[in-house]
Amino acid sequence: MDPIEEQIYVIIFATIFLAGLMSTFVISMIFIHRQRQNQNRQKIEHMQAEYERTMLNIENEIQNETLSHIGRELHDNIGQLLSLAKLNFNSSKPEKKTEGQTILNQVIQEVRGLSKTLNLDWVEETSLEDFIQQQLSKIESTGFCNTKLDYHGEQLQLNKDHKLVLIRVIQEVLNNAIKHASPKNIEISLESNGKGKNIYIKDDGKGFDVSKASNGSGMSNLKKRMQTIGGEFYITSKKQKGTEIKLSLPK
């Protein structure tokens, strides 16, 4: 075999080898790409399932709280009004019967109001700002502490699911402050501008060591709930210096 033929065979062999190498590389890249696609698909499915579970849990919690509220209202408020109406209707005095009718009309209005809270339609009808103001007003009306709500920028525009998560997180944060912090003041600030959407919840209560509290399920659960809507949960606190929580929302 002359040198020219040898060179041709070497070139052919090298070409076949490189073609095989390239084919193997391409096949490997396709395989890795498909693996990543499957992993990403599984991750998205897992996140979707986690999101749906979170929303279901939040809806159940709010509905259970609503039912408890209705139970208390039926027992403490409406039951008392009905007893009072009965006493007035049993009286022989005309003015007492008129008073009984007035009380009965009040009962009807109370029952209508309670019936609206049996579903979650109110979430769409109520702005987050109005909900927070209602919660703070309830706290202040008890004489527990002073409250304040501040706005910075535009009103927060949220869909029902995002609003539902925030409602539950804010409720839990306020409940924790009432149960554990014994504050004199609670302040909530809403911030919405080009830089982002944030909710700050501050109290001047006892405070605590955040590093020790991080092992608890409460804060972890709140963080996970914020993550389901693409948000973040931050907390800073010092003993005897109060606590500040920041809920950061996606732009």
Give the residue extent of every domain in the chain. Answer: 1-119, 121-249
pLDDT, average across residues 154-167: 85
Burial of 70: CB neighbours in 10 Å, binned 0-12, 13-18, 19+: middle
Written as six digits, the tokens of 130 are 């109005």
Name which CATH class applies to 121-249. alpha beta
Residue 245, strand partner residues = 201, 235
pLDDT above 60 (res 211): yes
Residue 155: band (very low, low, confident or very high) from pLDDT cuts 50, 70, 90:
confident
Question: With bands split at pLDDT 50, 70 and 90, how would you rate the model's confidence at 174?
Answer: very high
Q: Write down the pTM of the prediction.
A: 0.62
Say how many Å lie between the first and final Cα of the chain, rounded.
73
Residues 135, 171: contact at Cβ < 8 Å?
Answer: yes
Q: Which residues of 173-194 are buried (b: 16+ CB within 10 A; e: fewer)?
A: bbebbbeebebeebbbbbbbee
Residue 71 is predicted with a pLDDT of: 77
DSSP 31: H
For the chain, the average pLDDT equals: 83
Q: Which of 116-125, 149-158, 169-178, 237-246 has the lowest mean pLDDT?
A: 116-125
Nearest to 189 by CA among 203, 209, 176, 175: 203
**Predicted local distance difference test score (pLDDT) of residue 18:** 80
Per-residue pLDDT tens over the stretch 8-21: 777 777 788 788 88
Q: Is the pLDDT score of 232 beyond 90?
A: yes
Maximal CA-CA distance, the chain: 133
Angle at 62 (CA atoms; ends 56, 68), nearest 5 degrees: 135
pLDDT tens per residue, range 106-151: 888 888 777 766 666 777 888 899 999 989 998 998 899 999 999 8
